[in-house]
Structure 1
Amino acid sequence: MVQYIPPPDYRSLLPPLLACLPTAFVSPRPPPALLPLLSPILRQRVQHLAATAISSADSWLPLLCWESEPAQRLVDLVSESNAFELHPVSGEIDFGDVEEILYRQLDEETLQARIAVTDMGLVVIYLWCEGDQEGGGNGWRVSEVRPLESEGDNCSVGWWASMAQAEKKAKDKMMDDALREGEDNSVAQGGGSGVPTITGEEEGEHDDDDYWAQYDQTPGGRTPAAKSPGPSTTMNIHARMTSEADYYAQYAQVQPEMDNDDPSENRESFGESSLNGDVITSSAHQSTPPELAPFQGSIFCLPSELGRDSADLDLKYPAASSPRTRSTTISRLEETAESQSMAEVAVKQHISTSIKSLFRLCRSTGVERLDFDRMVRTELETLSMMTEDD
């Protein structure tokens, strides 16, 4: 939505501004009525710089102009002119004729209006401000006040008779600047030959693009339009699985550096080994007592045999010395006791650390050792009284 911007009404904008200008020679501080008339940037400039005035001779009037030489001429113009006297009948300043209002747009958000007061020799440049709470909301605010230049200075160059024309010229200028900047960059990169050269950074980017483009060169990556994508997808998955299997199969051919057994070496020079691979197992069998040897018979027998060999079975299969649940309970009790002891130690350490910290705090604030001991004993006695009440 395009916002409507009304043209500046110089009949209501100029009188309060012109009435404040002569007060610059009375007080080094600007009058309160002037600040709402200024743009936010110019308002901050006048407020901060006028507050640092050393003597009453310092005037805030030059701060309304952004250039030093025109600012000095502005002071001379206002001090020597009689046009700033109030009219005896209306009580306002009669500023006379005003030239045609001209407009200039610097960018998408900066629109200025130029009002030339010929009888007073002043040029007031207004800026359209949105959301200016100190100035009363949206409206035209004073951006600069400067003396009217002579015709030879071409001070009106770049200004246009309407806001639409100023907007169009601003867009054309931004487009021309962008094209000119692009041409300058191309000439600078091409070394003046008109052919763009590839820098080291761009060459590195092309290398990266070529590297990542290799992932698109897998088998079946491009499927003809007449075929279904199903078989192509299956072929891609099969090819990917085959390549992964071949990749991981290479690890079987790797000889670890810490492995003493190298299959690639010649074994004939070492002779036959006397180890059969069961040295540990055989030694375990030899060291096992007969009464602890594993049961070799069958646990399934007839009732007659069960009655005859019941005594032997009782000896061969003794009952467990302790139930499983009992050992679990004991382990839980041990863990609980251990956790409680650790918690008790942690609490004691915390109390000790807290008392030391309190003592350091008291010593840093100038509290004596006796006073600290007295406070601690008082608190302990209070705790004993609370315990007795409980």
Structure 2
Amino acid sequence: MQPPLANIVEWPTGRLDFSAGPLLMGVLNITPDSFSDGGRFLDANKAIEHGLQMAANGAAIIDIGAESTRPGAEPVPTHDQINHAVPVIKALREKSNVPISIDTKDVEVAAAALDAGASIINDITALSDEQMAELAGERGVPVILMHMQGTPATMQAEPTYQDVVAQVLEYLINRARQAEKFLIAKERIFIDPGIGFGKTLEHNLLLLRNIDKFVASGYRVLVGTSRKSFIGKLTGKKDPAQRIFGTAATVALCAAAGVSILRVHDVPQMVDVVKVAKVIANTTMTLRARGESTSQAEVSHINNHGLWLCVNDLEYFLPYDEYPWFRDAKVKEILNVKLLHGHHLNWPDLDVDLEIDALENPQNYPLKYE
């Protein structure tokens, strides 16, 4: 049984607080050819202004990329990436305390970005370059490990899998364990299934339908669906800027499933989406079952409905002596989850043991069940 991950993730140059649920990562592309906003923030002043605006709107992280990773993208020279990214990072660090991540697979770019004030490495190759892993371990910074089949230039050339969910999850867990060997603390490792990176429409949908399996892996999960082409295929929207509502649907589902970070372009809108989704789903990171036999969904279901039904409503609307099958089923569910996941249960101001005993032995509680 894996212990729950701490709500607070701290490192020498930053801090993230997941106690209230998922966080938003605002996308800041300072590239001429990104699929959604390529060229819009090439000017450093515009990039800085946009980064500060995203932070003010509720982004908990600003993710800066100086090399497009869209399908078919060509590599950008290292010195060009550094020249574009470093001034923006320095300015944002001077004006805001929001952590900055550098979206790069180039260790020289990552090092320059960290020196300038970035404090998270977002690597689409999942630290395939051991020098990048060494850098992250030495600096003590969090890392985001993404799955991609192929390279940005080739990844959409007929991607194939025997079982996309199993293969992507296995790859990411292996990469995360490898990262730990470089003294990167587990709580500072985030895994990203790489929606749209070497996947067909059906692959993307399968990954999103099974995102709870990634949440249950023992590592925090980041998902980036914002404005992506699979949403355009589903909605008929060719313009990425018109895919906000489709993005919102994916963000809501991922937030409800326990994903830790949502990478988005449209921060103000997605702040509202996450607020509503987490309240409806009662999603906090302490509810998640990580790597254990009972699914995350079952734990969340029991937290949201189990005792609420059994203790609060049924004593008024469904007397136990008339509906013993329902009572017995709920007691078994609650006991099972309590035994396996007691540390995940979220029943504030409720004596869980007392309530379960009352359900098992109603004769001892005549006032409660008379």
Tell whether the structures are fold-level matches, with TM greater than 0.5: no
Higher Rg: 1
Taking CA–CA contacts closer than 8 Å with sequence separation of 6 or more, which of the two structures ends up with the larger relative contact order? 2
Q: Which TM bucket (shorter chain)?
A: under 0.3
Q: TM-score, normalised by structure 2?
A: 0.19
Q: TM-score, normalised by structure 1?
A: 0.19
